[in-house]
Amino acid sequence: MHQDVAKVLLDEPTIQAKVRELAARLSEDYQGKCPVLICILKGAFIFTADLMRHLTIPTRVDFMAISSYGNRTRSSGVVQILKDLDRSIEGEHVVVVEDIIDSGLTLTYLQENLWSRRPASLRSCVLLDKPSRREVPFTPDYLGFQVPDEFVVGYGLDYAGLYRQLPYIGVLKPEVYQKHS
């Protein structure tokens, strides 16, 4: 285990089994279709890559990057697009892939923004949910795990850009983020 991690919340086999389960559900639900996975950078890139490798249906991937909540008021709900999709999603079956839903502001914004582009359908696939942090109601269509309100890192999730490469999801030691705040 990494020295900055206090405990492992979800180990690698547990995550991988869930990813396979979600991919199996998507493959069944989108049988005969070719959905576009929209990976929300950066946190979702590892989950998206693993999920995609287990799909048994044809699929495309595209990427969006949106501003983080770092220096602005969370409750504003204003999300800035830093990198937009490369292709139109008009008439496409779209699945937004996220690593985590917290306040729900990002996915609420994305849902409204993406629906305005006239996809044939739009669903969300989210690995982690912190329901206790929700500020606006949002229920992912496909969900991996509910997690408590702790500082989680790994499997794409970062602190200050670090720890994304950990194969498990762990709770960061408080002294790691307290010394920077």
Which residues in 12-35 are b (16+ Cβ under 10 Å) and which e?
A: eeebeebbeebbeebeeebeeeeb
Report in angstroms how near the CB of residue 117 gets to ligand PRP at its nearest: 19
The residue range among 5-13, 97-105, 144-152, 167-175 that interacts with ligand PRP, by the rule CB under 6 A, is 97-105
Q: Where are the beta strands (DSSP E) in 67-160?
A: 81-83, 93-101, 121-129, 142-146, 152-153
Q: Mask of contacts with ligand PRP, 135-154, x by CB under 6 A?
A: --------------------
Annotation marks residue 141 as catalytic: no
Alpha-carbon distance 148 to 164, whole Å?
19
- What's the rounded Cα separation, in Å, for the pair 103 and 145? 16
For position 42 contacting ligand PRP by CB under 6 A, the verdict is yes
Task: Tell whether residue 100 is a contact of ligand PRP (CB under 6 A).
Answer: yes
- What residues act catalytically? 102
Residues forming contacts to ligand PRP in the complex (CB under 6 A) are 40-43, 68-69, 98-106, 158
